[in-house]
Amino acid sequence: MKSRKTVAQQKLVDQATDYSTWRAQSMVLDTLEGLDGWKNNPVSRNYQHKLIQQRLINLRAWRKAGDWPQLIFSLREGLHRNLGNLANPELYKHSHVGTKLLIDDYISEVTSLLNHLCDHDIPELPYAQKLMFFRHTGQSFGRSALMLSGGANMGMFHFGVVKALREQNLLPRVISGSSAGSVVAAFLGTHKDSELDALIRGEDMDLHVWRRLKPSEMLRQKSIMDIRELERFLRESLGETTFEEAFKRTKRIINITVSPVDKNQHSRLLNYLTTPHLLVWSAVLASCSVPGLFPPVKLMTKDRLGHEKPYMASIRWVDGAIESDLPAQRLGELYNVNHRIVSQTNPHVLPFISNQTRKEGWRLFLTDMVKGEVKYRSKQLMQLASYGIDRGIVKTLLEGAIAVVEQQYYGDVTIHPPVRLRDYQRVLGDLSKEEFQQWVRAGERATWPKIAMIRDQTIIGQTLEDCIIRLKKQRGRAMGASDAPAPVRRVA
């Protein structure tokens, strides 16, 4: 039974309007519930606390002694994302905010050491070796990506997730989006940070993108909504920007998934490496073309002279979420991504995602078990039905449904809105600015409890990337200085 103090404090947590307030009130709640003792005690069966403790002792001792060769050797050999099971999500389910202090201390020491190695002259680590150390260690450690699912209007939740991550400097450079998620990914890829705040507030956002076709048009186009209205919105919002141009503008690596209508083609991940000259608005249009809702579309690219033309003109494309809502494997191949932050808003997926953020006992376990069984049996029934059909629209629909069910819809960290019936009633149709802001706030609030885990799981990788960028700038400045003309000596 919770005390009156605890109940009152929980209300203060729920009423917080920003992360710093939420975190401060959550820490007070942890104290009231007696959870500080758990944080201070390094022991837990959920990770190898003795390994982490000894490693922290060694790093501090070598640093104090100035034994940089041993430190460099140890970091290069033992810096892994899940060392000693540090990334175990169970470590973040005991308290409202944060985890074991030992984990915080270890991560802080490692990032401090990396920054020191990067920014100071170490005789045992000349520039060329230093850059190689950070590159190789970064390659071994891997990268994080933010993956934004489909979800129609529910996808506006992604803007709140992005807002919360940006405010804490935790937004990964690698971002993928499918369907509604592709809209948010495209805005991130084509707008600089200074432009994003107004968009997320809804000030510069055109929310009128849905227009239902007349019955005669529906029959002719085999769709319900007018894709011309969506195309207008995307062209005006994103401009005639290619993936390569977007990357040069923001340095964010956006990836958009699309699926082909032709079964002899496979789903594609569009980005500045695979399709550098493809127009971003056209990729988003294809990724949002849900069969039945919008017709299939052609992708558009720029030719060598900058003129717009069809890309693979004979092929039409539809919603990327059908075959690859979260393209984890391809991101790993292209960008060395091994850590995935997923913002999941697909209406057909949300009922099957666990709501567990803290330990809640056997009831939640039974609920999750029932959800898993329903999903498994649904897949079996669809496979059984498809065996008796050789061709036609029913066969295509069943194959698409099976592809949807078979996908993995969660990541190392999964953020999602609560399941509410009224949200399902407003999946389609124009949103008011108030409704848009409600989704943004929902995204923020759902992200706040995950911030500590995201920071702990990504800060070392982010530090390695930042150090490489700083080292390259150092080399550029050094080369610029060496190229400068020698001062003219004045003859007396």
In 10 A of CB 356, how many CB atoms? 13
| pLDDT confidence of residue 372 | 52
How far, in Å, CA of 13 to CA of 91, rounded? 21
User: What pLDDT is stored for residue 153 in this prediction?
Assistant: 87
Note whether residue 376 is domain-resident: no
CATH number at residue 198: 3.40.1090.10
237 among known catalytic residues: no
Question: 368: which 2 tokens?
Answer: 């999750």
Which stretches of the chain score pLDDT less than 70?
1, 202-207, 210-214, 216-217, 219-223, 264, 321-325, 354-409, 424-425, 476-492
Neighbours of 114 (CB within 10 A): 20
Domain total in the chain: 2
Residues 186 and 264 in one domain: yes
pLDDT tens-digit readout, 295-349: 889 999 999 999 999 999 889 998 876 665 678 889 999 999 999 999 999 887 7
Nearest to 41 by CA among 111, 80, 95: 95
Considering the domain architecture, whether residues 189 and 284 belong to the same structural domain is answered as yes
Contact predicate 227/281, CB 8 Å: no
In Å, how far are 106, 120, 239, 456 from 111, measured between CA atoms? 9, 14, 39, 11
Q: For residues 164 and 272, state if they share a domain.
A: yes
pLDDT in tens, 23-69: 999 999 999 999 999 999 999 999 999 999 999 999 999 999 999 99
pLDDT value at residue 99: 96
391 domain residue, yes or no: no
Q: Report if residue 402 sits inside a domain.
A: no
Question: What pLDDT is stored for residue 50 in this prediction?
Answer: 97
Residues 331 and 306 in one domain: yes
88 and 120 fall within a common domain: yes
Q: Are residues 148 and 196 in the same domain?
A: yes
| 431 DSSP 8-state letter | P
Position 390 scores a pLDDT of: 54
176 is an active site residue: no
Tell me the whole-structure pTM to 2 decimals.
Answer: 0.85
| Statement to judge: residues 112 and 224 lie in one domain | no
- Residue in the block written with tokens 């029932």: 370
Query: What is d(CA 55, CA 109) in angstroms, rounded to the nearest whole number?
Result: 10
133 and 182: one domain?
no
Within this chain, do residues 110 and 186 fall inside the same structural domain, yes or no? no
The reply to whether 435 and 298 lie within a common domain is yes
Query: Cβ contacts of residue 21 below 8 Å, gap of 6+?
Result: none
pLDDT at residue 311, as a whole number: 94
Is 486 a member of any domain? Answer: no
| Among 26, 44, 179, 267, the one annotated catalytic | 179
Angle between helix 101-119 and 127-141 (nearest 10): 150
pLDDT value of position 358 = 52
Residue 33, pLDDT score: 94
Catalytic member of 319, 412, 423, 456: 319
Hey, which bits of 246-349 come out as E strands?
253-260, 268-270, 299-302, 308-311, 317-319, 337-343
| Closest CA relative to residue 227, chosen from 296, 283, 279, 181 | 296
So what's the pLDDT on residue 479? 60
Nearest-angstrom CA–CA distance, 491 and 486: 15
User: 67 and 193, same structural domain?
Assistant: no
Looking at the structure, tell me whether residues 204 and 118 fall in a common domain.
no
In a domain, 365, yes or no: no
**Rounded CA separation 186/253 (Å):** 10
Instruction: Say if 399 falls within a structural domain.
Output: no
> Could you tell me the residue range of the domain that residue 296 belongs to?
144-346+409-447
Residue 306 domain flag: yes
